[in-house]
Structure 1
């Protein structure tokens, strides 16, 4: 009987871009890493430095997605409050 290859779990996280929402996501990501789970986090270009600094020293993948432009009521260049 052939053995099956080990299953790899990969979790994608897409937090709301306010800092109060992203910090718990960092804790969750580190918790999952301790259990050998691969993590990818999606963020916007302006928020990437905060993610990169907070998750330095880990092998978490960070993927940037563009933030929509010209949204009524949102000042240009603002991606989180």
Structure 2
């Protein structure tokens, strides 16, 4: 069962250019539906990457943000174990 998908003109144009390039480089005529199916299947196999692409910020962060984060930390010179952390958190 086919369902229509709304997209802006720029996205539609890019899909058409991709379709033309596939035909030019492979000699195969593929439909836009076939291209979209392939893209969705590929994205489903690497879900984490797709999900991360929708996050407001990406890791690794830029150097300024990294430096700002570490500016507030101080090395105490003491080794902290998981037991130490458990004692602090849980008492």
- Same fold by TM (over 0.5)? no
Q: Which has the higher strand share?
A: 1
Normalization by structure 2: what TM-score?
0.28
Determine which structure has greater relative contact order: mean sequence separation of CA pairs < 8 Å that are 6+ residues apart, divided by chain length: 1
Q: Which protein has the larger Cα radius of gyration, Structure 1 or Structure 2? A: 2
| TM-score, with length taken from structure 1 | 0.31
